[in-house]
């Protein structure tokens, strides 16, 4: 896989564009393919099996486009489909939007309380516990 290959980012809609923008600011020379699944939004009221299936299909699309990295920019897909997306991606690295935030919160000794706002599916996944 070429270093010039794009980074693939997906979300259930357009909210993940903030993640894409942050990546572009930090890595301005990287090409990005953004997939906003507006056909199925919102993910939060869908069955976990549906969210996993949507995420796997999108991952396959991004792989077909030659992406060197897959970013799940959706909390709901991150909480329910991360492991499945990693299996589909094989050797292509996959990152989600939950783990980095949790790492920052855990490693900040000044943090006493944390509030989480999420879709029903994200909260019910137990990922933030």
Complete domains list, the chain, with CATH: 7-125 (3.40.50.1860)
Pairing between β-strand 69-72 and β-strand 94-96 as defined by DSSP bridges = parallel
74, two tokens: 């959706």
Torsion, Cα 43 125 116 19, to 10 degrees, reads -50
Residues sharing a CB contact under 8 Å with residue 20, sequence separation 6 or more, in sequence order: 9, 32, 34, 73
Q: Looking at residue 2, what is its pLDDT?
A: 56
Helix, strand, or coil (residue 91) = coil
Give the Cα separation of 110 and 103 in Å (integer). 14
What is the structure's pLDDT at 101?
A: 82
- Low-confidence stretches of the chain (pLDDT < 50) are none
Backbone angles phi, psi at 15, to 5 degrees: -60, -30
Count Cβ atoms within 10 A of the Cβ of residue 81 and give its class: 0-12 exposed, 13-18 middle, 19 or more buried: buried
DSSP 8-class letter at 45: G
Q: Cβ neighbours of residue 63 under 8 Å, at least 6 residues apart?
A: 8, 70, 88, 89, 92
């Amino acid at each position: 896989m070429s270093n010039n290959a794009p980074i693939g980012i997906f979300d259930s809609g357009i909210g993940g564009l903030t993640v894409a923008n942050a990546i572009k600011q930090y890595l301005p020379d990287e090409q990005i393919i953004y997939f906003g699944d507006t056909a199925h939004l919102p993910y939060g009221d869908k069955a976990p099996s549906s969210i996993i299936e949507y995420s796997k299909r999108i991952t396959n699309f991004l792989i077909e486009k030659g992406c060197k990295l897959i970013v799940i920019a959706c909390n709901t897909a991150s909480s329910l489909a991360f492991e499945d997306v990693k299996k589909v991606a094989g050797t292509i690295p996959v990152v989600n939007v939950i783990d980095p935030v949790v790492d920052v919160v855990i490693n900040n000794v000044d943090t006493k309380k944390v509030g989480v706002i999420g879709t029903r599916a994200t909260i019910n996944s137990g990922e933030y516990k």
